[in-house]
């Protein structure tokens, strides 16, 4: 908290005097993730994984035998954060392939953003059997939806705790770090330049989402509000919406209701009634 207060104070002063410089520093902070170690509860699944290297050095972990499900973690996340879901997928007869996103884990690069994640999913899909489903958490969920607009063709998609539009994420970050208006505008322009497209295009309201899907979000998510899930649901005709009363931003990945909902979607059956919202 003290560090954030200090950053806001510095940005609030220098952002008026040198908006481009401050924007550049915040862009680096926004796009350069830390590699955080797995938690103890993730280690057994990590030990049982097969490490595979896909083209362009993209790294992934693989478990099980059967129809393939591709999973993508979120910002500063890890494949093994899906541990409970992966164990259930394997038990149900699926192959789970979980990527290290660009700039994460053993995959190459230092920077990460939603377009890089989406391209990584496309590259992985080109080397894998036809995908039964794609599952993404947070930025990985936004990337899965974007990848479906870039040529990814899974049978179904699951979006967990994902934002509906990138511009809102950029504005939220700029506000959190205390960027004044000119620095905020410069920050968004610099991110758009590096990403290679306007942030306004990275919005589900502009997408054509034709595959069946499941949208999962916790009402108490402190990072991405649950209203984002409802907005995705409105834009996605063939989707099921599951809003849980608790689970935060990451604990939701272990929620039994999420796992039941994913398995129901894969089996092409309706989820249990207690999952409906």
Same domain, 182 and 257: no
Same domain, 151 and 184: no
The DSSP symbol for 270 reads P
In the prediction, which pLDDT does 15 show? 86
Q: Residue 2's pLDDT band (boundaries 50, 70, 90)? A: low
pLDDT at 50 over 70: yes
* For the chain, percent of residues with pLDDT exceeding 70: 96
In 3D space, the residue among 119, 160, 181 whose CA is nearest the CA of residue 259 turns out to be 160
Is 160 within a domain?
A: yes
Q: Residue 152's pLDDT band (boundaries 50, 70, 90)? A: very high
Same domain, 104 and 136: yes
Full 3-state SS string of 37-87: CCCHHHHHHHHCCEEEECHHHCEEEEECCCCEEEEECCCCCCHHHHHHHHH
Q: What is the pLDDT of residues 121-141, one digit of tens each?
A: 999 999 999 999 999 999 999
Is 109 within a domain?
A: yes
First to last CA, the chain: 35
Calculated CA dihedral for residues 240, 122, 164, 114, nearest 10 degrees: 150
Count structural domains, the chain. Answer: 2
- Distance in angstroms (rounded) separating the CA atoms of residues 173 and 28: 12
- The three-point CA angle 227-233-97 to 5° equals 100
Q: What is the mean pLDDT of the chain?
A: 94
> Which phi-psi region, left, alpha or beta, contains residue 57 (left: φ > 0; alpha: ψ -120 to 50)?
left
Same domain, 184 and 74: no
pLDDT at 275 over 70: no
User: If you average pLDDT over residues 44-55, what whole number do you get?
Assistant: 96
Same domain, 234 and 182: no
* For the chain, percent of residues with pLDDT exceeding 90: 91
Same domain, 59 and 179: no
User: If you average pLDDT over residues 144-169, what whole number do you get?
Assistant: 97
Domain that holds residue 177: 166-201
Q: Residue 276's pLDDT band (boundaries 50, 70, 90)? A: very low
- Phi and psi at residue 41, in whole multiples of 5°? -70, -15
In the prediction, which pLDDT does 269 show? 67
Is 220 within a domain?
A: yes
Q: What is the pLDDT of residues 232-270, one digit of tens each?
A: 999 999 999 999 999 999 999 999 999 999 999 999 866
* Non-local CB neighbours of 132 within 8 Å, separated by 6+ positions: 67, 68, 69, 94, 154, 155, 156, 266
In the prediction, which pLDDT does 12 show? 87
pLDDT at 271 over 90: no
User: If you average pLDDT over residues 93-118, what whole number do you get?
Assistant: 97
Same domain, 51 and 172: no
Is 142 within a domain?
A: yes
């Amino acid at each position: 908290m003290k560090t954030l207060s200090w950053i806001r104070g510095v940005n609030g002063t220098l952002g008026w005097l040198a908006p481009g410089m401050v924007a550049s520093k915040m862009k680096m902070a926004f796009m350069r993730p830390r590699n955080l170690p797995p938690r103890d509860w993730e280690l057994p699944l990590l030990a049982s994984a097969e490490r595979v290297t896909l083209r362009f050095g993209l790294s992934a972990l693989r478990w099980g035998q059967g129809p393939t499900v591709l999973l993508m973690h979120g910002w500063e996340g890890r494949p093994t954060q899906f541990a409970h879901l992966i164990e259930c997928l394997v038990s149900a007869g699926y192959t789970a392939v979980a990527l290290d996103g660009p700039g994460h884990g053993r995959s190459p690069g230092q920077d990460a953003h939603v377009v890089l994640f989406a391209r990584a999913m496309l590259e992985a899909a080109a080397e894998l059997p036809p995908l039964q489903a794609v599952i993404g958490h947070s930025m990985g969920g936004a990337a899965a939806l974007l990848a479906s607009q870039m040529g990814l063709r899974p049978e179904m998609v699951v979006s967990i705790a994902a934002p509906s539009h990138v511009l809102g994420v950029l504005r939220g970050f700029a506000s959190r770090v205390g960027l004044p208006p000119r620095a905020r505008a410069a920050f968004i322009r610099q991110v758009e330049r590096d990403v290679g497209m306007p942030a306004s295009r990275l919005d589900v309201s502009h997408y054509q989402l034709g595959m069946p899907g499941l949208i999962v979000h916790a009402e108490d998510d402190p990072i991405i509000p649950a209203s984002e899930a409802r907005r995705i649901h409105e834009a996605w005709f063939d989707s099921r919406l599951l809003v849980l009363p608790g689970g935060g931003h990451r604990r939701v990945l272990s929620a039994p209701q999420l796992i039941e909902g994913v398995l129901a979607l894969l089996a092409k059956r309706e989820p249990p009634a207690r999952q409906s919202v």
